[in-house]
Protein backbone atom coordinates (compact mmCIF):
# COMPACT_ATOMS: atom_id res chain seq x y z
CA UNK A 1 0.00 0.00 0.00
CA UNK A 2 1.46 3.33 -1.06
CA UNK A 3 0.50 6.77 0.16
CA UNK A 4 -0.32 9.36 -2.42
CA UNK A 5 1.77 12.51 -2.56
CA UNK A 6 -0.98 14.72 -1.16
CA UNK A 7 -1.00 12.75 2.12
CA UNK A 8 2.70 13.30 2.98
CA UNK A 9 2.35 16.84 4.40
CA UNK A 10 -0.50 15.70 6.66
CA UNK A 11 1.55 12.69 7.77
CA UNK A 12 4.60 14.85 8.50
CA UNK A 13 2.44 17.31 10.44
CA UNK A 14 0.97 14.42 12.46
CA UNK A 15 4.43 13.10 13.33
CA UNK A 16 5.57 16.56 14.46
CA UNK A 17 2.44 17.05 16.57
CA UNK A 18 2.78 13.63 18.22
CA UNK A 19 6.42 14.39 19.01
CA UNK A 20 5.49 17.82 20.38
CA UNK A 21 2.79 16.38 22.64
CA UNK A 22 5.17 13.70 23.93
CA UNK A 23 7.74 16.42 24.59
CA UNK A 24 5.17 18.58 26.41
CA UNK A 25 3.99 15.60 28.45
CA UNK A 26 7.50 14.82 29.67
CA UNK A 27 8.53 18.43 30.30
CA UNK A 28 5.21 19.59 31.74
CA UNK A 29 2.95 22.21 30.25
CA UNK A 30 4.34 25.49 28.94
CA UNK A 31 2.32 27.88 31.06
CA UNK A 32 3.37 30.16 33.87
CA UNK A 33 2.08 28.26 36.90
CA UNK A 34 2.83 24.88 35.44
CA UNK A 35 2.72 21.69 37.44
CA UNK A 36 6.13 20.06 37.94
CA UNK A 37 7.29 17.72 35.20
CA UNK A 38 7.55 13.97 35.71
CA UNK A 39 11.31 13.97 36.44
CA UNK A 40 10.88 16.82 38.93
CA UNK A 41 8.11 14.94 40.74
CA UNK A 42 10.14 11.73 40.78
CA UNK A 43 13.23 13.59 42.04
CA UNK A 44 11.17 15.05 44.89
CA UNK A 45 9.68 11.65 45.69
CA UNK A 46 13.15 10.07 45.74
CA UNK A 47 14.31 12.74 48.18
CA UNK A 48 11.31 12.14 50.45
CA UNK A 49 11.84 8.37 50.41
CA UNK A 50 15.54 8.91 51.26
CA UNK A 51 14.57 10.98 54.29
CA UNK A 52 12.05 8.29 55.31
CA UNK A 53 14.78 5.65 55.03
CA UNK A 54 16.99 7.65 57.39
CA UNK A 55 14.11 7.80 59.88
CA UNK A 56 13.43 4.08 59.64
CA UNK A 57 17.15 3.34 60.09
CA UNK A 58 17.28 5.48 63.26
CA UNK A 59 14.15 3.81 64.58
CA UNK A 60 15.74 0.41 63.90
CA UNK A 61 18.82 1.46 65.88
CA UNK A 62 16.55 2.36 68.77
CA UNK A 63 14.68 -0.93 68.59
CA UNK A 64 11.43 0.51 67.20
CA UNK A 65 11.75 -1.11 63.75
CA UNK A 66 12.98 -4.44 62.42
CA UNK A 67 15.63 -5.18 59.84
CA UNK A 68 12.86 -6.10 57.39
CA UNK A 69 11.43 -2.59 57.72
CA UNK A 70 14.82 -1.09 56.89
CA UNK A 71 15.23 -3.42 53.90
CA UNK A 72 11.75 -2.52 52.65
CA UNK A 73 12.61 1.18 52.89
CA UNK A 74 15.86 0.60 51.02
CA UNK A 75 13.94 -1.25 48.32
CA UNK A 76 11.50 1.66 48.03
CA UNK A 77 14.41 4.05 47.59
CA UNK A 78 16.01 1.89 44.89
CA UNK A 79 12.69 1.66 43.01
CA UNK A 80 12.21 5.44 43.27
CA UNK A 81 15.71 6.02 41.86
CA UNK A 82 14.99 3.60 39.01
CA UNK A 83 11.77 5.48 38.19
CA UNK A 84 13.68 8.78 38.22
CA UNK A 85 16.24 7.39 35.78
CA UNK A 86 13.40 6.18 33.55
CA UNK A 87 11.77 9.62 33.60
CA UNK A 88 15.06 11.31 32.69
CA UNK A 89 15.50 8.81 29.86
CA UNK A 90 11.99 9.61 28.57
CA UNK A 91 12.88 13.31 28.64
CA UNK A 92 15.95 12.74 26.46
CA UNK A 93 14.06 10.47 24.06
CA UNK A 94 11.24 13.03 23.71
CA UNK A 95 13.75 15.80 22.99
CA UNK A 96 15.55 13.86 20.26
CA UNK A 97 12.28 12.59 18.78
CA UNK A 98 11.03 16.15 18.42
CA UNK A 99 14.32 17.27 16.87
CA UNK A 100 14.10 14.37 14.43
CA UNK A 101 10.48 15.15 13.53
CA UNK A 102 11.28 18.76 12.64
CA UNK A 103 14.46 17.80 10.76
CA UNK A 104 16.95 19.29 13.21
CA UNK A 105 18.62 16.11 14.44
CA UNK A 106 21.99 16.71 12.82
CA UNK A 107 25.61 17.32 13.69
CA UNK A 108 25.36 21.12 13.52
CA UNK A 109 22.25 21.46 15.70
CA UNK A 110 23.65 19.13 18.37
CA UNK A 111 27.10 20.80 18.21
CA UNK A 112 28.84 17.44 17.98
CA UNK A 113 32.58 17.30 17.59
CA UNK A 114 32.45 14.87 14.67
CA UNK A 115 32.99 15.35 10.96
CA UNK A 116 29.98 15.62 8.71
CA UNK A 117 29.10 12.54 6.67
CA UNK A 118 29.75 13.29 3.03
CA UNK A 119 28.43 10.51 0.78
CA UNK A 120 30.72 11.40 -2.13
CA UNK A 121 33.85 11.24 0.02
CA UNK A 122 32.79 7.95 1.59
CA UNK A 123 32.05 6.48 -1.84
CA UNK A 124 35.53 7.33 -3.10
CA UNK A 125 37.06 5.81 0.04
CA UNK A 126 35.38 2.43 -0.39
CA UNK A 127 34.49 2.13 -4.10
CA UNK A 128 37.27 -0.35 -4.93
CA UNK A 129 37.06 -2.34 -1.70
CA UNK A 130 35.48 -5.76 -1.52
CA UNK A 131 32.59 -5.88 0.88
CA UNK A 132 33.80 -6.27 4.48
CA UNK A 133 37.52 -6.43 3.76
CA UNK A 134 38.59 -2.82 4.32
CA UNK A 135 37.39 0.15 6.33
CA UNK A 136 37.16 3.75 5.00
CA UNK A 137 40.43 4.55 6.80
CA UNK A 138 42.20 1.88 4.74
CA UNK A 139 42.80 -0.71 7.46
Q: Return per-residue pLDDT of the chain as tens, 139 residues.
A: 566 667 767 777 778 888 877 777 777 655 556 667 778 889 999 999 999 999 999 999 999 999 999 999 999 999 999 999 998 998 888 888 888 888 888 888 888 898 888 889 888 877 776 766 666 665 5
Number of other CB atoms surrounding residue 124 within 10 Å:
11
d(CA 43, CA 45) in angstroms, rounded, equals: 5
Report if residue 20 sits inside a domain. Answer: yes
Report if residue 137 sits inside a domain. Answer: no
Per-residue DSSP letter, 114:
S
Look up the pTM and report it. Answer: 0.67
Asked if 93 contacts 105 with a C-beta cutoff of 8 angstroms, the reply is no
Per-residue DSSP letter, 117:
P
Q: For residue 84, what are the domain limits?
A: 9-26+35-105
Task: Please state the domain count of the chain.
Answer: 1
Report if residue 65 sits inside a domain. Answer: yes
Amino acid sequence: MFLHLEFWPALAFGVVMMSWFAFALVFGSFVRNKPPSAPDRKRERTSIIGIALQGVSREAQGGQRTTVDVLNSQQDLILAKARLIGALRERVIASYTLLSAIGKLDVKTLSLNTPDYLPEVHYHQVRDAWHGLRTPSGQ
